[in-house]
Amino acid sequence: MRHIISLLMENEAGALSRVAGLFSSRGYNIESLTVAATEDSTLSRMTLVTAGSDDVIEQITKQLNKLIDVVKVVDLSEGDHIERELMLIKVRALGKDREEIKRLADIFRGRIIDVTDKSYTIELTGTGSKLDAFLDTIERSAILETVRTGASGIGRGERILKV
Amino acid sequence: MSTELTGAEITVRCLQKEGVDHIFGYPGGAVLFIYDELFKQDKVKHVLVRHEQAAVHAADGYARSSNKIGVALVTSGPGVTNAVTGIATAYMDSIPLVIISGQVPTHAIGLDAFQEVDTVGITRPCVKHNFLVKDINELATTIKKAFFIASTGRPGPVLVDIPKDVSQQKAVFVYPESVAMRSYNPVTRGHAGQIRKAVQLILEAKRPMIYAGGGIILSDAAAQLTELVRMLGFPCTNTLMGLGGFPATDRQCVGMLGMHGTYEANMAMQHCDVLVAIGARFDDRVIGNPKHFFNEDRKIIHIDIDPSSISKRVKVDVPIVGSVSDVLVELIKMLKVRKEKPDQTALDAWWTQIDLWRARDCLKYDRSSSIIKPQLVIEKLYDVTKGDAFVTSDVGQHQMWAAQFYKFDLPRRWINSGGLGTMGFGLPAAMGVQFANPGNMVACVTGEASIQMCIQELSTCKQYNLPLKVINLNNRYMGMVRQWQEFFHGNRYAESYMDALPDFVKLAESYGHVGMKIEQPGDVESALTEAFKLKNRLVFMDFITDQTENVFPMVPGGKGLSEMILV
């Protein structure tokens, strides 16, 4: 099953490699991983999307907790949570397609953030499946480039991950 | 204004503050300033090994036999890569070590400088934690953290990488009394509710079994374990790492379990209805095939300091996270309060069954053989040392025979590489043991293959007058490899022979030691007696043993515990 795990870790050189190394050495899979410093610059917040049986996920959270640099770990999928991913997509936009692509971007609440006479660059946020859906609506050959951040997640309501 | 010290001075002062009496190391360019400071003082004694792997193994043997933190010092690049085997060995067996490594100067890091490796990267998967100190002002705190992390929670090796320029720069030296880390707060006390559940299960048991591992040794809980086992009257088995945790000569001890465990231990493990696992991790060499293990229904209580060890290979019913010694104290207290006893009739019937298994005499061997049987050597070693020696081993058949035939009644007496299975461990580990326990008998049980992986340390032994007794079970084969080839590879002994062996007697003598070659079973005991009389000399005893002897019982890989091959 897919799980989205959030963690706070010391913002130190090499901390990311400890997490990445743990996943590769123990054979866990990573679908995506995002990391950046928090409002407290000594801490980094990481969101990890992984998949595995309950036993594997239990081991993953235990092993993450065991890393000395990791301060807190929470499996967001255990409760209500929100997840968002950012995608930048450059598409070929010529002739009558220009209007159509603009309309599609609007429908998905995307924003065109760069324009040339041949292309649009669209910024789109949402869940991974929404981004997938948007990609599906655009003809494959029109897609020039995509870049996705991987999911970031946060608990709903009073669920807070903080030191 | 306080005076400033160099990074090298700070490093040595930190070691002094930690009460380190011996460090094991090998100098090189990146650690020259640190060596210079070691030279100027005499509180921390440096032991010069002949290879960095041995430095770490020696620090490891020192730690295992003393419950102190072992410290090793190596230079950058090859110094570190040589040390990696030692570090991984300690990591797999959760041994508290601090390894200090030199690094190229900060401005040269990443430029493929001479003797540069990414030490933090290379060692990351085999340390509990590691640090690269880039700022002299953080050096003392980092070393304090290293000692704290290494020895608390589930212990393990911690490496501190110090670039050469940092060891040369100056800072005010303040050694913190303690360190608090928001990201590291190991649990010690077990959850009272969970311990209560365990007590209930224990009292309801009809066919109980206590399975105790290295955690007993690491948390100095042998006394508590012994009290618990005797109080309950339950059978107890120790893992390879847990030997000595419960006295081997006690009737309630059913011997070691696992791949080469006793018939009675493995059968009792398989057929018990309540299993109390203490400081053990259900390793693949211990329970064999987990699926087969669950063919029988049983409740499992698992006490361990590391939550990730619980429900990793087997699902357990009552997990208790905490320091083994603390949890056992609580458990014993609660059992005393309850004043109840488990069903004695059921327990008697269980013991009757266990005694039947025991009567199978699974460790029997041909005592009338005209060739020296390796088992005989270990039995005689036990007799001659009256069970009072520290015994280190290398890896292979000799290791298993030592574990099976030397009856360890005390913890920290049996020193071996259980998890990683590192050939070459025995001799350097024995050096560390002897430094930690001067005046005690230290034997290194080895084989002619293993010993050659760190034989250069005979030179270190000479330099420091370490009166080790090396028991070389020489069967001219990598015995365990040969055994597997005999059982599973159609007797095709691919590269498992030992050809062109040195004359070990002459070799020992050339290093300035005493060498003995023993070829007759009748000479084994007298030779050992003679060797141990030489209290101030290292004696290398080359026992020419039966080439075809195998270790029994054996649970073949992938098989269940009750599917043993017996003699």
Q: Please determine, for residue B95, whether its predicted confidence score (pLDDT) is greater than 90.
A: yes
Nearest CA to A143 among A125, A126, A123, A119?
Answer: A119
User: What's the rounded mean pLDDT across residues B506-518?
Assistant: 98
When CB atoms are compared, the residue of A55, A62, A71 closest to B183 is A71
User: Considering chain A, what is the average pLDDT of its residues?
Assistant: 96
Q: Is B125 on the interface with A (CB under 8 A)?
A: yes
User: What's the rounded mean pLDDT across residues B414-442?
Assistant: 98
Q: What is the pLDDT of residue A44?
A: 96
How far CA B228 is from CA of B233, B246, B347, B399, in Å, comes to: 8, 10, 15, 29
Q: Please determine, for residue B231, whether its predicted confidence score (pLDDT) is greater than 60.
A: yes
Q: What is the pLDDT of residue B1?
A: 56
Chain A 22-41, CB below 8 Å of chain B: which residues? 25
Q: What is the pLDDT of residue B276?
A: 98
Asked if A13's CB is within 8 angstroms of B125's CB, the reply is no
Element (H, E) at A4: strand A2-10
In this predicted model, what pLDDT tens digit does every residue of B116-158 receive, in sequence order?
A: 999 999 999 999 999 999 999 999 999 999 999 999 999 999 9
Q: Give A115's strand partners.
A: A120
ipTM of this predicted structure: 0.93
In this predicted model, what pLDDT tens digit does every residue of B247-290 receive, in sequence order?
A: 999 999 999 999 999 999 999 999 999 999 999 999 999 999 99
Which residues in chain A are closer than 8 Å to B149, comparing Cβ atoms? Answer: 68
How far CA B490 is from CA of B35, B335, B475, B482, B550, in Å, comes to: 54, 53, 20, 11, 15
CA distance B84 to B74: 11
User: What's the rounded mean pLDDT across residues A23-38?
Assistant: 95
Q: Is B106 on the interface with A (CB under 8 A)?
A: no
Q: Is B184 on the interface with A (CB under 8 A)?
A: yes
When CB atoms are compared, the residue of B120, B183, B307 closest to A69 is B183
Sheet bearing B274-278, strands edge to edge: B253-256, B236-238, B208-212, B274-278, B299-304, B318-321
Count chain A–chain B contacts defined by CB atoms under 8 A: 36
Q: What is the pLDDT of residue A13?
A: 87
Q: Is A61 on the interface with B (CB under 8 A)?
A: no
Which residues in chain B are closer than 8 Å to A27, comparing Cβ atoms? Answer: none
Asked if B120's CB is within 8 angstroms of A58's CB, the reply is no
Q: Is A58 on the interface with B (CB under 8 A)?
A: yes
User: What's the rounded mean pLDDT across residues B353-361?
Assistant: 98
Which residues in chain A are closer than 8 Å to B125, comparing Cβ atoms? Answer: 21, 25
Which residues of B have a catalytic role annotated? 52, 114-115, 164, 480
- Chain centre to alpha carbon of residue A9: 18
| pLDDT level of residue B499 (50, 70, 90 thresholds) | confident
Q: Is A68 on the interface with B (CB under 8 A)?
A: yes
In B432-523, the DSSP E strands lie at 442-447, 469-474, 514-518
Which residues in chain B are closer than 8 Å to A17, comparing Cβ atoms? Answer: 121, 124
Which residues in chain B are closer than 8 Å to A9, comparing Cβ atoms? Answer: 183
Residue B109 distance to chain A (closest CA, Å) = 14
Nearest CA to B418 among B266, B275, B259, B235?
Answer: B259
Cis peptide bond prior to B553, omega within 30° of 0: yes
Q: Please determine, for residue A157, whether its predicted confidence score (pLDDT) is greater than 90.
A: yes
In this predicted model, what pLDDT tens digit does every residue of A70-119 receive, in sequence order?
A: 999 999 999 999 999 999 999 999 999 999 999 999 999 999 999 999 99
User: Considering chain B, what is the average pLDDT of its residues?
Assistant: 97
User: What's the rounded mean pLDDT across residues B154-170?
Assistant: 98
Q: Give B48's strand partners.
A: B25
Nearest CA to A158 among A83, A84, A79, A71?
Answer: A79
Alpha helices in B18-138 (DSSP H): 32-39, 52-66, 78-92, 119-123
Q: pLDDT > 90: what percent of chain B?
A: 98
pTM for the model stands at 0.96
In this predicted model, what pLDDT tens digit does every residue of B206-222 receive, in sequence order?
A: 999 999 999 999 999 99
Q: Please determine, for residue A61, whether its predicted confidence score (pLDDT) is greater than 80.
A: yes
Q: pLDDT > 70: what percent of chain B?
A: 100
The residue whose two tokens read 């929404």 is A130
